[in-house]
Structure formats: C-alpha cells, structure tokens
C-alpha cells in the first residue's frame, strides 16, 4: 500500500508520524470478487476492515447447512466505511458475514495494530467512539425502516443510510450502486426499486444515474415518508 492511498483513509489523518508508519506497514489491501466473503461468521477476528472501493453487505445468511433463522441483510457498506471494531475490541469471532456485492477493494489492519492504536492515540479513540455512536443511530433507523410499508420510503431511508457522510465519507454525492444491488439490500425486487427511485427523483430528492444514485437533498431523503 502506498502513502498516497493511506491519505485517502479518513482516520489516518488523526495519527502522528510513527502511528501512520506502523499502519502503512500493517495495512493489507485486497481485491474481492462479487459474492466473495470478506469474513465469515464464527471465524476468529484477524483484521479491522474498511472499504476503499466497491460495495459490501453485512448479513447473517448462513451459507452452510441448516439455516438457523431467516437470512437478513443488516446493512450495505459503501466506500469509506470501516467495520468490525466491535468484534475486534472484544476479540470475539465474527458474528456476521461480510460479502462483496460487486468487485471491491478492501483494506484492513491487524487486530494487534488496532489495539496498539487504541492504547496510544486519542484521535483514533475519538474516531472509533464516533463510529460506534453513529452506527448505533443507523441500527435504530434500520428498525424503523423495517416497519415501513411504503417501498418508496424504505428505499429512501436505506439510501439515506448509505449516504451517511460520517460513516461512509468515501461515498460523496454519487453512490455507485445498481438497482439490482439496492434491491438486495432493501429486500425489494429490482422493478420496485426502479419505480421507487423514479418517485424519489420526481420529488427532486435524488437523481437516477447509470450505475448509481446522486443525492440532491440528503435531509429530505432522511425524512422521506414522514411529515414536515
């Protein structure tokens, strides 16, 4: 991994020279193909991962035999998103599957380096704390989304979650996601997603683009389906 690439990762800006040097030597970057699992339920934690490019999904669908409980997609992880700190902190085995929805570039630092940073960098601690707090808000929002019946609103809120600038600073204005992929995440058919996207576009909240969605009004997207 090169120093320039490192600079594109948000939390590295909070580190001092020594810390950055260690991270640079420790960081591994891999290319994952669609469908490939970045980490599997039950596997021991070795890395703290982040998405450089592409799109991942976090789910509990047990690929193995005897599916215990129905498969649920918890969330998508777009560029700029870092995850797994909860399990790294507790040194527990992974509790979810992380699977690539499309060809993606994933970076990771070892659990050892993660703990080393946690022990010495206040900036890094602040980042992790903010990350945990922000994600808690996302999961609460996700519960709300699950109870929405209007597909347009579900798509709107799910999109809003993916456009979260704190958790996913790599996304920016344009989220690279196909309508098929969005369908997988939200749990709707591609046709219905297509319809919903155009309804949102009609409200001037987003713009539908080839292979992606551009946000025009993030606040309106978050509020969609609710009054005021």
What DSSP letter does each residue of 199-223 carry, written as one string?
HHHHTTSEEEETTEEEES-HHHHHH
C-alpha span between 155 and 139 (Å, rounded): 16
Q: Please, which residues have CB within 8 angstroms of residue 17's CB and are 6 or more apart in sequence?
A: none
C-alpha span between 52 and 100 (Å, rounded): 12
Structure tokens at 211: 């292979």
Closer by beta carbon to DNA, 6 or else 216: 216
Q: Interface with DNA includes 191 (CB under 7 A)?
A: yes
The only residue of 9, 32, 197, 215 in contact with DNA, by rule CB under 7 A: 197
C-alpha span between 53 and 55 (Å, rounded): 7
Contact range with DNA by CB under 7 A, out of 41-49, 84-92, 166-174, 186-194: 186-194
| Site residues (CB under 7 A) for DNA, limited to 45-104 | 102
User: Binding residues for DNA, how many (CB under 7 A)?
Assistant: 14
Closer by beta carbon to DNA, 23 or else 55: 55
The only residue of 95, 180, 202, 226 in contact with DNA, by rule CB under 7 A: 180
The only residue of 14, 20, 22, 190 in contact with DNA, by rule CB under 7 A: 190
User: Smallest distance from the beta carbon of 27 to DNA, in angstroms?
Assistant: 26
User: Smallest distance from the beta carbon of 191 to DNA, in angstroms?
Assistant: 4
Residue 57 C-beta-side C-alpha neighbours within 13 Å: 21
Scan for tokens 């409200």, then name that residue.
203
Chain residues that interact with DNA, rule: CB under 7 A? 102, 178-180, 190-191, 194, 197-198, 208-212
């Amino acid at each position: 991994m090169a120093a320039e690439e490192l600079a594109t990762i948000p939390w590295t800006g909070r580190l001092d020279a020594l810390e950055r040097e260690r991270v640079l030597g420790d960081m591994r970057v891999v290319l994952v193909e669609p469908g490939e699992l970045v980490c599997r339920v039950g596997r021991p934690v070795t890395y703290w991962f982040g998405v450089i490019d592409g799109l991942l999904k976090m789910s509990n669908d047990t690929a193995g035999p005897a599916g215990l409980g129905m498969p649920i997609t918890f969330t998508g992880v777009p560029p700029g998103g870092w995850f797994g700190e909860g399990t790294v902190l507790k040194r527990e085995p992974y509790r979810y599957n992380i699977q690539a929805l499309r060809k993606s570039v994933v970076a990771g630092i070892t659990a050892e380096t993660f703990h080393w940073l946690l022990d010495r960098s206040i900036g890094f601690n602040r980042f992790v704390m903010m990350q945990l707090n922000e994600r808690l808000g996302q999961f609460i929002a996700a519960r709300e989304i699950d109870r929405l019946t209007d597909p347009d609103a579900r798509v709107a809120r799910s999109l809003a979650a993916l456009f979260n600038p704190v958790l996913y600073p790599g996304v920016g204005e344009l989220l690279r996601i196909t309508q098929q992929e969005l369908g997988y995440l939200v749990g709707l058919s591609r046709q219905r997603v297509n319809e919903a996207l155009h309804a949102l576009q009609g409200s001037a909240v987003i713009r539908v683009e080839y292979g992606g969605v551009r946000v025009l009004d993030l606040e309106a997207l978050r509020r969609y389906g609710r009054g005021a």
